[in-house]
């Protein structure tokens, strides 16, 4: 295998994105208080990384014509990887994810099955439907926390709140990203939310979803699940999210990137909150 092809296959997985998803699964398990089940946590993290990588590769396969306009430097448009190779590589990664997921409890397996079906169907069935694709990605983003908690058999109230906040934030970020990709999506005949209702109304909807997430973020503190350390860190995450929301009006690319940072900060707040309780 040539170096360029190997690099292209790695790029297909969006490795930073895949590893980040695995970290979110780890956080879900930790917030649920189940790191003592190290084998289950490792299997869940590995399954998440492989499934996310597989979904990213498959997305590039189906989006290859759109990427010729929006992202011509992606591996398939630039010729580093053939579409066929990308598809089979995705299948291989999905197979690895399934093997690891089968070692987990039934609830975790059920979440894994739903997520794998959603990942496979996303580009062809959901992406072009106004808002539906955003909701699917939002669910997938939030469900990494549920999956980690389910892997250790403890889906706690804090994890459910974390799932909801992550899902809302991810939907908002995906809407902003669709605004960034309007030119290529319109040319390919996709009916994403910004194309269907207009870029500015779509952006305001994203802002509304973020506002709900911000207002709900103190819940673990108000419910006395976590103490002030959680509240202090989540306040920083909320501030970054608010700044990113305003930034999205002038620069959707920077806005959606900074929303991703805010989401990780929010996940970190739950880790800090759990650590403070454990001490």
Q: In this structure, are 160 and 212 located in the same domain?
A: yes
The ranges of the chain with pLDDT < 50 are none
Q: In this structure, are 27 and 116 located in the same domain?
A: yes
Q: Specify the number of domains making up the chain.
A: 2
Q: Does a structural domain hold residue 138?
A: no
Q: Does a structural domain hold residue 207?
A: yes
Q: In this structure, are 121 and 204 located in the same domain?
A: no
Q: In this structure, are 231 and 185 located in the same domain?
A: yes
Q: In this structure, are 208 and 112 located in the same domain?
A: no
- The predicted pLDDT at position 232 comes to 94
Q: In this structure, are 119 and 183 located in the same domain?
A: no
- The predicted pLDDT at position 127 comes to 73
Q: What is the pTM of this model?
A: 0.85
Q: In this structure, are 13 and 43 located in the same domain?
A: yes
Q: In this structure, are 105 and 225 located in the same domain?
A: no
- The predicted pLDDT at position 267 comes to 86
- The predicted pLDDT at position 279 comes to 59
Q: In this structure, are 103 and 209 located in the same domain?
A: no
The secondary structure of the chain, three-state, reads: CCHHHHHHHHHHCCHHHHHHHHHHHHHHHHHCCCCCCHHHHHHHHHHHHHHHHHHHHHHHHHCHHHHHHHCCCCCCCCCCCCHHHHHHHHHHHHHHHHHHHCCCCHHHHHHHHHHHHHHHHHHHHHCCCCCHHHHHHHHHHHHHHHHHHHHCCCCCHHHHHHHHHHHHHHHHHHHHHHHHCHHHHHHCCCCCHHHHHCHHHHHHHHHHHHHHHHHHCCHHHHCCCCCHHHHHHHHHHHHHHHHHHHHCCCCHHHHHHHHHHHHHHHHHHHHHHHHHHHC
Q: Does a structural domain hold residue 42?
A: yes
Q: In this structure, are 116 and 25 located in the same domain?
A: yes
Q: Does a structural domain hold residue 137?
A: no
- The predicted pLDDT at position 223 comes to 84
Q: Does a structural domain hold residue 139?
A: no
- The predicted pLDDT at position 65 comes to 81
Q: In this structure, are 73 and 108 located in the same domain?
A: yes
- The predicted pLDDT at position 266 comes to 87
- The predicted pLDDT at position 1 comes to 62
- The predicted pLDDT at position 106 comes to 95
- The predicted pLDDT at position 187 comes to 76
CATH of the domain at 201: 1.20.120
CATH of the domain at 12: 1.10.357
Q: In this structure, are 40 and 81 located in the same domain?
A: yes
Domain span including residue 65: 1-131+144-155
């Amino acid at each position: 295998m040539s170096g360029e092809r190997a690099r292209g296959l790695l790029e297909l997985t969006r490795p930073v994105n895949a590893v980040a998803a695995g970290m979110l699964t780890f956080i879900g398990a930790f917030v649920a208080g189940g790191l003592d089940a190290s084998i289950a946590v490792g299997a869940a993290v590995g399954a998440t990384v492989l499934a996310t990588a597989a979904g990213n590769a498959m997305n590039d396969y189906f989006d290859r014509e759109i990427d010729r306009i929006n992202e011509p430097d992606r591996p398939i448009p630039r010729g580093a990887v053939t579409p066929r190779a990308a598809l089979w590589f995705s299948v291989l990664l999905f197979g690895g994810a399934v093997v690891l997921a089968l070692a987990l409890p039934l609830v975790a397996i059920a979440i894994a099955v739903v997520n794998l079906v959603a990942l496979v169907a996303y580009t062809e069935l959901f992406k072009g439907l106004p808002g539906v694709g955003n909701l699917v990605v939002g669910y997938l983003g939030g469900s990494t926390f549920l999956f980690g908690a389910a892997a250790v058999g403890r889906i706690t109230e804090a994890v459910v709140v974390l799932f909801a906040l992550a899902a809302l934030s991810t939907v908002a970020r995906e809407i902003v990203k669709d605004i960034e990709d309007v030119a290529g999506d319109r040319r390919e005949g996709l009916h994403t939310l910004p194309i269907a209702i207009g870029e500015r109304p779509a952006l305001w909807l994203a802002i509304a979803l973020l506002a709900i997430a911000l207002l709900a973020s103190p819940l673990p503190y108000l419910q006395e699940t976590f103490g002030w350390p959680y509240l202090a860190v989540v306040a920083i995450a909320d501030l970054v999210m608010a700044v990113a929301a305003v930034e999205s009006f002038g620069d959707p690319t920077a806005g959606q990137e900074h929303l991703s940072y805010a989401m990780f900060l929010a996940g970190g707040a739950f880790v800090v909150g759990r650590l403070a309780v454990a001490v």
